[in-house]
Amino acid sequence: MAQTYSGSCHCGKVAYEVTASLDSVISCNCSMCRRKGHLLAFAPATDFELKQGESELSDYQFGSGTIHHLFCRHCGVSAFGRGKLPDGTEMVAINVGCLEGVDLERLSVQKVDGASA
């Protein structure tokens, strides 16, 4: 069930609100996600609002360059990323650990083999 959450980086310079379902989050083993150790949830870009910090974000891209791996240039935390589905729909990948009031231990985590994709 979708709910609205507040999220931020560690230093608080980047903050957002997102409406998303945390019924199932993913743990991916691709080269980026494995190193970051994130649990991710996804939401349409229309359900995401960056409240502050656009100018504080740095962008890292690799491979096909279709995913914007964003992180705060001050504290280094990757609170979210931006990309598109194959059909062109803009999506936001949320680092669930950056959401306020979420108990990570209570989430249902689906493992995704991004390393083989």
> What's the pLDDT at 24?
86
User: What span, in angstroms and rounded, lies between the C-alpha atoms of 69 and 60?
Assistant: 5
H or E segment to which residue 68 belongs:
strand 68-72
pLDDT number for residue 27:
96
HSE (side-chain half, CA atoms, 13 Å) at 86: 0
Q: Is the CATH number 3.40.50.280 carried by domain 2-112? A: no
What are the mean pLDDT values of the chain's consecutive 10-residue runs (117 residues total)? 96 98 94 92 97 97 85 97 92 97 95 90
Predicted pLDDT of residue 63: 77
Contact 15, 106 (CB under 8 A): no
This prediction has a pTM of 0.92
